Chains A and B, each alone.
Chain A
Amino acid sequence: MQYTLLIILLPLLSFIVLGLMDSKLKPKVAGAIGVSVLGIITLLSYISAFEYFYLHKIEGVYEKLVPLHIEWIRFNEFLHIDLGILLDPISIMMLVVITTVSLMVNIYSLEYMKGEKGFQRYYAFLSLFTFSMLGLVVATNIFQMYIFWELVGVSSYLLIGFYYTKPSAVAASKKAFIVTRFADLGFLIGILFLSFYTKTFDFNILNSGDASIFASTAGVSFMGISVMSWTMGLIFIGGAGKSAMFPLHIWLPDAMEGPTPVSALIHAATMVVAGVFLVARLFPVYHTYAPDVLHVIAYIGAFTSLFAAVIACVQTDIKRVLAFSTISQIGFMMVGLGVSGIGGHEGHEGLGYMASMFHLFTHAMFKALLFLGAGSVIHAVHSNEMNHMGGLRKYMPITNITFLIACLAIAGIFPFSGFFSKDEILAATFQFSPYLGATMSFIAGLTAFYMFRLYFNIFWGKEHKHEHTPHESPFTMAFPLVFLAAVTVVAGFLPFGKLVTADRSEYIIHLDPIVATVSIIIAVLSITLAALMYMKEKETPKQLATTFSGIFKMASNRFYIDEVYIFITKKIIFNLVSTPIAWFDRNVIDATINNIGVVTQWTSHKTKRFQSGQVQQYAYVFLVGTLIIAAIMLFV
């Protein structure tokens, strides 16, 4: 399956072409290049998915294929950095997800970004992002993954700051980059620890189940926690940064400053699930050598999910609601992984892993759909604020229907895709701990509530006065919506348990009827509640807001986490660390350098008269010098 290399390289080529052409292409040509490249690689990734899932199953277990493997940098026998392509069920699934969503976003942007300054730059960056994300998911070793991990960070930074004349966009891009970069420091240290003890970067070796490579970690511990827990915990910090887990989530809501299709691609469907993918990729290691970290991941995921869901209930910027909803859903995926085991023929150990990957897949589709739908709405009313909308269902029927489908999917209503994936996560969580399961069910209810609050506020409710009548988006924007909506409707019936599982063998999904019924009831109740409150203009929301003004205010301000960060950085780090360092820099390092300069200048002032330009004077000095040397040699 060597042609998978093309899937990775074509977007890079398109990035180079678009990037080097320096706005010389007509926007239409630039867009056509972007879309056609994406079309080709989407097709290729579908072909590879079919080929892989049909042909590469041996005795009920999917093979791990490495169609390409290059030794890139060699330090010694053990330590070498390789580049390559690793195909296994999760990377194939990610290829499909990334190329599909990216293609849809590329098509959608043709219209959405029409006439923007830097249209070609936008397409170049989209290609760069697609290239890096694809490189990340097929990485054969953790170092290659790290390289592409940083590359997606860069392309995310570039795209958030696409409107670089807008100060808030610039601030948001810097925030995203710095926060994730800070988290990546943990990732890097984790990688170094891991390779130090195991002498390898390779995922296949790490995940092979061979206990001998972890032998050197036995009995090593630091502060009472085993070294493998530290290592895997540090690696998870990197994943938590990219996947916006509490308390590193602060960059994601601000990242909504970027163009909406970018939010759909990067900050909803693909890049933000990189952390989930990382944990899934190293899942056997987590499961065998750091089960305690896996539990921590589950609890962090659950807390983040709850936290973000509460905030999402009171935000008024529709993109921010979706951003917090994304954080919440990624929390679900983390919980799914955290409570999972391996295996799954008897018992249900592997359910969480499978459910998490399933949810990643379905969430990517319906969340991209939600963002693109929101983009369509923003395109029509030129505002992000919920109270500038209302009653749009008459003007935008396609957006209305597709958005509704996505909302039903995320709320977990049968038969939409979100129902299946979320339900399996809930089932897995109930098996792990009923309390955690109940919490997650509550969050699922909250999800349904805030999504329908959003839906009713946009498409129902009192009509806001518009400067000009909102209109349905043209075909290039409507097509991605319809396509993703179709995927959302049917994706739940994919035989996911046969395709992507923790041990790469078949897993038979049994829907837990009690969990399924309960969660549907919760979802329907929440939707009804939202409908009662927001379908018609009513005073209830405002009354509730005043009754619970304390928590309402805190949630509106996102529980002041940003302020805490500002306090820590400005008051503590700047004052206690940066100021002394700045003093040292100015008064010791700079002063040393400056004084060297001053001394040199003084010396040259004193000696410059020697450089008179008069040959005879030079000759005289030369002669005197020679005589002095001669005298010294004779008499001393």
Chain B
Amino acid sequence: MGDLLINFLSGPVPIEAYLGVSLIMFFAGVYGFLSRKSLLMILISVELMLNAADINFIVFNRYLYPGHMEGFFFALFTIAIAACETAVAIAIIINIYRNLSSVQAGELNQMKE
């Protein structure tokens, strides 16, 4: 057990460690998306899921195709697009707040009635 821990800590970081982190981030995002009431918190959860995906891009590129750059650039593009998407989402949320004085997801049911 001790050997294993030492190997793990002294050797190169294995791929599973990265994937584990991204998995935790992703499901934290999913949980947050489903459980938070505030639209802002839901947005943050979405960002979390996106970042988990970015990590996966980079890790797979680094471990499976060393010397290639596609995954890194893809991650960069995703970050840029995520920033845009966040700006749009926040604009929508501000408008919702102006109209309804609330940013609670559960109260957004005008379209249903």
Contacts and interface: CB of A to CB of B under 8 A. Distances in A.
Interface of A: 611-616, 619-620, 623
A308 to B, nearest CB: 72
B30 A623 contact: yes
Contact of B109 (A613, A619, A623): A613
A626 to B, nearest CB: 10
Contacts of A613: 108-109, 111-112
Contact of A620 (B34, B108, B109, B111): B34
B109 A616 contact: no
Interface string B73-113: 00000000000000000000000000000000110110110
A616 B112 contact: no
A614 B30 contact: no
Contacts of B112: 611-613
Nearest to A614: B106
14 contacts: A612-B109, A612-B112, A613-B111, A613-B112, A614-B105, A616-B34, A616-B35, A616-B42, A616-B105, A616-B106, A619-B34, A620-B34, A623-B30, A623-B34
Contacts of A616: 33-35, 42, 105-106
Contacts of A611: 112
Chain B interface SS verdict (over half) = helix
Contacts of B35: 616
A429 to B, nearest CB: 85
A4 to B, nearest CB: 66
Nearest to B110: A613
Contacts, number: 23
Contacts of B30: 623
Given A620-B34, A623-B30, A615 B111 contact: no
Interface of B: 30, 33-35, 42, 105-106, 108-109, 111-112
A614 B109 CA distance: 7
Contacts of B108: 613, 615
A619 B31 CA distance: 11
Contacts of A612: 109, 112
B90 to A, nearest CB: 17
Contacts of B33: 616, 619
A502 B112 CA distance: 79
Contacts of B42: 616
Contacts of A620: 34
Contacts of B34: 616, 619-620, 623
The 8 closest A-B pairs by CB, nearest first: A613-B112, A613-B109, A620-B34, A616-B34, A616-B105, A619-B33, A619-B34, A615-B105
Contacts of B106: 614, 616
A619 B35 CA distance: 11
Contacts of A615: 105, 108
A568 B14 CA distance: 96
A331 to B, nearest CB: 74
A217 to B, nearest CB: 71
A147 B81 CA distance: 67
B48 to A, nearest CB: 14
Given A613-B108, A614-B109, A615-B105, 17 more contacts: A611-B112, A612-B109, A612-B112, A613-B109, A613-B112, A614-B105, A614-B106, A615-B108, A616-B33, A616-B34, A616-B35, A616-B42, A616-B105, A616-B106, A619-B33, A619-B34, A623-B34
B106 to A, nearest CB: 6
A615 B45 CA distance: 14
Nearest to B31: A623
A234 B32 CA distance: 82
B58 to A, nearest CB: 24
A616 B41 CA distance: 12
Nearest to A615: B105
Nearest to B106: A614
A620 B105 CA distance: 14
B89 to A, nearest CB: 12
A615 B111 CA distance: 12
A619 B34 CA distance: 7
A611 B111 CA distance: 11
B57 to A, nearest CB: 20
Nearest to A623: B30
Nearest to B42: A616
A615 B42 CA distance: 11
Nearest to B33: A619
A611 B112 CA distance: 8
Contacts of B109: 612-614
Of the candidates B34, B35, B108, B109, the one having the most CB atoms from chain A within 10 angstroms of its own CB is B34
Contacts of A623: 30, 34
A79 B70 CA distance: 67
A331 B30 CA distance: 92
A365 to B, nearest CB: 76
B40 to A, nearest CB: 14
A424 B105 CA distance: 98
B103 to A, nearest CB: 13
A620 B33 CA distance: 9
B28 to A, nearest CB: 14
A554 to B, nearest CB: 74
A614 B33 CA distance: 12
A619 B30 CA distance: 9
Nearest to B30: A623
